[in-house]
A and B are shown apart, each in its own frame.
Chain A
Amino acid sequence: MSTIVTLPDQQTASLPKRSYLNEEYGLKSWLLTGDHKRIAILYLISITFFFFIGGAMAGLIRLELLTPPTDLMAADTYNKLFTMHGIIMVFLFLVPSVPATIGNFLIPIMVGAKDLAFPKINLLSWYLYVVGGILVLAALTLGGVDTGWTFTTPLSTHYLNTHVITAGLAIFVAGFSSIFTGLNFIVTVHRMRAPGMTWFRLPLFVWSHYAASILMVLGTPVLAITLVLVILERVMGIGVFDPAKGGDPLLFQHLFWFYSHPAVYIMILPGMGVISEVISTFSRKRVFGYTAVAFSSVAIAVFGFFVWAHHMFIMGVSNYSALVFSLLTMLVAVPSAIKIFNWAATLYKGSITFETPMLYAFGFMGLFTIGGLTGVFLGSMGMDIHLTETYFIVAHFHFVMVGGMLMAFLAGIHFWWPKMTGRMYPEGLSKLAALTTFIGFNLTFFPQFILGYLGMPRRYAAYPPEFQVLNVLSTAGATVLGVGYLLPMLYLVWSLKYGKIAGANPWQATGLEWQIQSPPLTENFVETPVVDYEAYDYEWLANKTKHEVQTVG
């Protein structure tokens, strides 16, 4: 009934003799590989490295904020820490997190292709990422940057002596890495789908990556040129952003947020794709309202380009333009709500099991809902006046980025770990990690909403004493959260050697990636698959399994 190669299930599983992992050996075979799966692994290692550097900085920031005065470190050091934390986490972790690792690994397999459209550009994009990363590390070791990750002019152009140019170049280069990844995904999804794989048979993971790729390709160049202007202004004093030369510092804000707001969706959309896959698999039910979820991704990508000025409500933009941007911000909240409700409805009449990826997905739904709803607080103009630039903002975007995106990333890593490595992660320990992360996260960031309404400004190394109790709670939570992130790091490495052998389809999931061996062959498919069923068709899977049993037994 299908040309897909199937292998025995988990009980009788053994590791395949040939796979992308043992096709070739040696460092060179990895560093010069064109295989999207190996590049995904390279990315996974590099982003994990930067995640723990950025995480250590977050730890130091929380430690400084344990007491009201600046006592652990100098104000300058604190400023450099939150700047580097932001730059590393946004540009070197969140933007590439799901797309460049899980997406890179799975997009070709999910559409039924042997590789991405441009394997060499894919490798180039990893190298660009590494160059960007090295430049960031250079800026860090040479003495750091203290502009804030937003590079606000004229502070960044005229008033600081730190390594702004190095950091700007780093983001410029890393930006091209993300442009190339986006380009590769778009071309692959358009041109390399297997026979029968129509647009509406694509898994929602592919839809959300497609939407995010459009944002990457159209948005990132604007950031690149903005940073070039900042660098030119520093080096040559061209004065585009300098009011003394007739420039406009607000122009920088417009240009920066024109990328950096869509960037939020670059980060979150792929995570939403992961959640669609996980919720469907563990409730053994097709995603409720497939087209609504698919088009809501596209809607987010389109509307996402027209809301940037909501970062500037208090910055002296005209009241009427603020009105338009507030309205559009409310509109962009709707597709996210649609997604949440569709995922919840997917559970209805399902047959639900609670493996670790599902727990992370539930964590995502809860935390992302809070993150999204507090976004409505901020999109509401009059409320934004009081809340913006305070800890409310910090809490809001950490709920979306850490509570949402990082939960989705961990859900995805656990979900596809058996596919990537051929081995299972330890279930009990990973459930504990998911729970620890959830508790630690809430303890860290929920008090910050209250701090924000009290008016505690962000990026403060010192604060009035009456804010201490909430800050202590937050720091305590960060400790728990740290444990929650270290655990997976440890047991996932452990599982590479000692994990149970997974077999081709340990979750009995429907995606094309689960119909091939784990870990996959370098060429993914022995024969080009022919797709004659829709995404999340569990009846097709049941029939297929029955058919196999009949032929075998």
Chain B
Amino acid sequence: MHYFISPVLWQFLVNWLTHFALFPPEASAIAPYADALYFFLILISLVGMVIVMALVGGFSILYRKDRNPEATQIEGSTLLEATWTIIPLALFMVCFVWGALLYFRIYNPPANAMNIYIVGKQWMWKAEHPGGQHEINSLHVPMGRPVQLTMISQDVFHSYSIPAFRVKREVIPGRYTTVWFTATQPGTYHLFCTQYCGTLHSQMIGEVVVMKPDDYEAWTQGSTSGMSLAQNGERLFASMGCNACHSGNAGARGPNLAEAYATRVQLTNGSYAMVDDAFLRDSILNPTMHTTAGYAPIMPTYQGQISEEGLIDLVEYIKQLKSNSRVQQTLNTSQVQSQAQSPASSQVQQTAPATPGMVKP
């Protein structure tokens, strides 16, 4: 064959036709489960197709006009109707149960998963590791460890898709969504934004790098920014003046935040809420949404004052806050500092602590 066409073209064709994908790599613990369901669904479809084609094709041959000039009128058959209602229904129910099991498996993370934050914006993916590693359009994860992604968008809907892991989740403005996976194969895989998000939607892509634990350690050491998310959060906590009310002192105007994460708190309206990432985020941006019982709804909103990354830093800080000693330390430091810098402003701060909005009724 290749004697007849140009060798360059031949080489190109061979390259092109041998280097194309037909099936995505299986690189996560969930992928084999997803593929098993996929093959089951293909099997059902093939059986269904073959039956329909056999019926249509077979009857077309058997009962074509040449062979069967006179049609026999048949009204119907309740038994047959029941058959082709119940059998497909039963098969579809199997698909439903199987699919539901897989869904719950993909979307319910194990308790020991390490957490990485993802912020989507037009048109890039930012990854924030708790250790202070920041990445754009890439994600480094260790092999063999469950990883949970807590994701939020700062503008429009995006969707975080890693086909090799068979996982995907919408990244939505205004609320955290999560997805988790355990990578099983070292390598570099596609990361796509699959929700149409404007002009450069098709450029909102990146790579997921799965590394062996040692390599991952090396990478973590080599690419840290020097400040963990919690440390950033602590700074922000002090600079926004959060510590003025959330000091942890008896009689403080805000609830004590030490060890508050992952507990249940009672709200003013009597109901209980779980303190999770979403609860903390909402409490910062929209404090009246859930006011803790026993506290006046005096906290001002921080809507528009803190970026999504800043919120993540704060959440990460509060998550790790075990005692109030450092809160009080920074409280003292900030008061000492401001007193030293300008006595006038410290007076203001004493009468109207932190942000001016806080004294409004």
Contact = CB atoms under 8 A, between A and B. Distances in A.
A248 B282 CA distance: 14
B303 interface: yes
A32 to B, nearest CB: 43
A146 B199 contact: yes
B237 to A, nearest CB: 23
A302 interface: no
A347 interface: yes
Interface in B275-321: 286, 303-304
B174 A244 contact: yes
A314 interface: yes
B85 A334 contact: yes
Given A350-B59, A460-B202, A463-B202, A154 B173 contact: yes
A292 B196 contact: no
A373 interface: yes
B198 A155 contact: yes
Given A79-B201, A383-B37, A350 B92 contact: no
A428 interface: no
Interface residues of B, number: 91
Interface centre among B23, B52, B200 (most CB of A within 10 A): B52
B265 to A, nearest CB: 21
B169 A314 contact: yes
A459 B201 CA distance: 8
Nearest to A332: B92
Interface stretch (B62-70, B212-220, B333-341): B62-70
Nearest to B84: A341
A377 B53 CA distance: 20
A64 to B, nearest CB: 11
Interface in A57-72: 70
A384 B99 contact: yes
Interface string A332-362: 0110011011101101111111100000001
Contacts of A383: 34, 37-38, 41, 99, 102
B194 A389 contact: yes
Contacts of A463: 202
Interface in A504-522: none
A365 interface: yes
Contact of A333 (B33, B88, B98, B304): B88
B52 A369 contact: yes
B100 interface: yes
A244 B153 CA distance: 12
Nearest to A83: B196
Interface residues of A, number: 95
Interface in A256-290: 283-286, 288-290
Nearest to B61: A352
B274 interface: no
A467 B20 contact: yes
Interface in A302-331: 313-316, 319, 322-323, 326-327, 330-331
Interface stretch (B134-142, B154-162, B239-247, B344-352): B154-162
Contacts of A345: 55, 80
Interface string A426-455: 000000000000000000000000100111
A546 to B, nearest CB: 14
Contact of A285 (B19, B74, B104, B159): B74
A482 interface: no
B174 A338 contact: no
Contact of B107 (A158, A319, A330, A386): A319
Contacts of B359: none
Interface stretch (B1-9, B43-51, B225-233, B251-259): B43-51
Contacts of B45: 370, 373-374, 376-377
A498 B166 CA distance: 57
B14 interface: no
Interface string A152-163: 101100111000
Contacts of A292: 76, 81
B105 interface: yes
B262 interface: no
B2 to A, nearest CB: 19
A365 B190 contact: no
Contacts of A195: none
A283 B71 contact: yes
Nearest to A351: B71
A218 interface: no
A21 to B, nearest CB: 33
A154 to B, nearest CB: 6
Greatest chain B CB density within 10 A among A244, A250, A348 is at A348
Contacts of A351: 63-65, 68-71
Given A243-B175, A330-B93, A468-B16, A365 B52 contact: yes
B210 to A, nearest CB: 16
Contacts of B169: 314, 316, 385
Contacts of A249: 157, 172-174
A148 to B, nearest CB: 5
A26 interface: no
B64 A353 contact: yes
Given A313-B103, A326-B100, A382-B37, A455 B190 contact: yes
Given A315-B172, A462-B202, A468-B20, A349 B101 contact: no
Contacts of A370: 45, 49
Contacts of B53: 366
A460 B197 CA distance: 10
B17 A469 contact: yes
A12 B101 CA distance: 66
B59 A348 contact: yes
A333 B23 contact: no
Contacts of A160: 198
A100 B205 CA distance: 43
A468 to B, nearest CB: 7
A152 B196 contact: yes
A461 interface: yes
Contacts of B200: 75
A539 B85 contact: no
Contacts of B119: none
Q: Which A-B residue pairs are the 9 nearest by beta carbons? A: A382-B102, A455-B163, A243-B174, A380-B99, A381-B103, A289-B76, A347-B59, A389-B194, A344-B55
Interface of B: 16-17, 19-24, 33-34, 37-38, 41, 44-45, 48-49, 52-53, 55-56, 59-60, 63-65, 68-77, 80-81, 84-85, 88-89, 92-93, 95-96, 98-108, 122, 155-157, 159, 161, 163-164, 166-170, 172-175, 177, 190, 192-203, 286, 303-304
Given A330-B92, A349-B72, A458-B196, 14 more contacts: A75-B203, A155-B198, A158-B156, A248-B174, A316-B169, A337-B84, A348-B59, A373-B49, A382-B100, A382-B103, A384-B99, A455-B24, A459-B196, A459-B201
12 contacts: A79-B201, A159-B155, A288-B74, A315-B177, A347-B60, A352-B64, A376-B41, A381-B103, A385-B106, A389-B159, A457-B194, A467-B21
